[in-house]
Structure 1
């Protein structure tokens, strides 16, 4: 059992927040990974383009994440005050919105360098879990997105304001960050059919997110959508699982068809 120490979200002076540092670390490590991968034979992206890809991805994350947060989780607030979408200092970032933003940004980047979209997506996907995992650690340091109450005697219990809870942020950091990173790096170490790496990313993220949503508390202003357990995270992650499975099936069917034709 661990008592949450009420960590100050401000990391140090000048109003630098832990959450912002996690984003910065995620982009920095992702950039190193992309540069390393760009040097490998068969890379669709030149090493000199790694910074450009990071710039596009960063725009997609912040613009898509903020818009997604308002559209998915605070639509009434957005309608009442549309300019609130620009108040990023107030927090509010949605993974699913960020994902949509990144997909659009990568489509623009792929078009700019003359590469197929999925060549770029498969190239970048293995490094996304770094940012996802660090972002969840940022949630933990911010003292937000806690899980349901649990037994005070449970070894995983974290005492938050006197209540033992699941540290759902750390569960997600482990699954969506460390585990997903390891699986994708191992899987993509060998040549795979186009769309397969992207499909595996979508499928596994969806599975991990749906699993943790069962013990993660929903946003207070939304609550459970139905059945006493269905959350917005479930609703937004289920299509990812279906899309990921579909991409994997299509990728390997195409590979089989190409093998037979050859």
Structure 2
């Protein structure tokens, strides 16, 4: 299959150019706003609209700053040490999910302390929104023809611009399904079925870790890093601890809840 010719700029007004990838960020923040507002109403949290706006702003700043810093540290540190001014060239790309996640955690912690609310009660709501941004972001990667997959002989393989003449896995779409739609359903299901605080957050952590590890087997490794021991990518090394920690915490929380609800013995 030939890569569809999609202009990365969906709208131009004079010197201003609006790109699909940026639109995905905007759509994800809009969806997050409405989903968070619905969750706040459902759980009857005493948050104002200003509180909600502050929460989303804290998360957005965490995504951007953490994502950029994480990419620099995890994926291309030598390049930025040699070219320090390129740190600010965000239009060239270079964002890390794991760095963005740490940034979001820091933003939520700041918000929770300033409002004197439970950190995990806020994180559980954010965890239900995060897959939306992940899924839309991967669609943006596909439109840009970046972060494509490894060479494949599958009939749905796509010849990407800049990816050589051989067809490759559309791994961006695999990730959009796994880390976006499927993870969203998993976290929403856990939030509805369990009243234990922390379960949705750790479900997101374990689910993302698992799905990212799977998707990385189809995704072309970063050229400047490659794979470790010829097997594992940086994305897998960063995601495996998420899967293990999330699974351990889910089991621990459910076991603790079961022990607390058990009738006392004579």
TM-score (norm 1): 0.92
RMSD of aligned alpha carbons: 1.7
C-alpha spacing 1:178/1:47, structure 2 compared with 1 (3 Å): farther
Distance in structure 2 (CA, Å) of the matches to 1:188 and 1:23: 24
Matches within 5 A, 1:73-88: 73-88=75-90
The aligned counterpart of 1:132 is 134
Matched residue count: 257
The secondary structure found in structure 2 opposite 1:115 is: coil
| Alignment partner of 2:212 out of 190, 204, 209 | 209
The secondary structure found in structure 2 opposite 1:158 is: coil
CA contact (8 A) 1:44 1:123 kept: no
The aligned counterpart of 2:168 is 165
Unpaired runs of 5+ residues, structure 1, are none
Give deviations 1:1-46, integer Å, cap 9, x for gaps: x310343322221121111111111111111111111111x34462
| Alignment partner of 1:177 out of 176, 180, 184 | 180
Distance in structure 2 (CA, Å) of the matches to 1:249 and 1:45: 31
C-alpha deviation, 1:105, in angstroms: 0.6
C-alpha spacing 1:124/1:45, structure 2 compared with 1 (3 Å): farther
Matches within 5 A, 1:7-18: 7-13=6-12, 14-18=16-20
Unpaired runs of 5+ residues, structure 2, are none
Distance in structure 2 (CA, Å) of the matches to 1:44 and 1:110: 13
Distance in structure 1 (CA, Å) of the matches to 2:122 and 2:84: 33
CA contact (8 A) 2:186 2:203 kept: no
- Report whether the alignment pairs 1:221 with 2:237: no
Distance in structure 2 (CA, Å) of the matches to 1:44 and 1:69: 35
C-alpha spacing 1:44/1:225, structure 2 compared with 1 (3 Å): farther
Matches within 5 A, 1:30-179: 30-40=32-42, 42-44=43-45, 46-48=47-49, 49-151=51-153, 154-161=154-161, 162-179=165-182
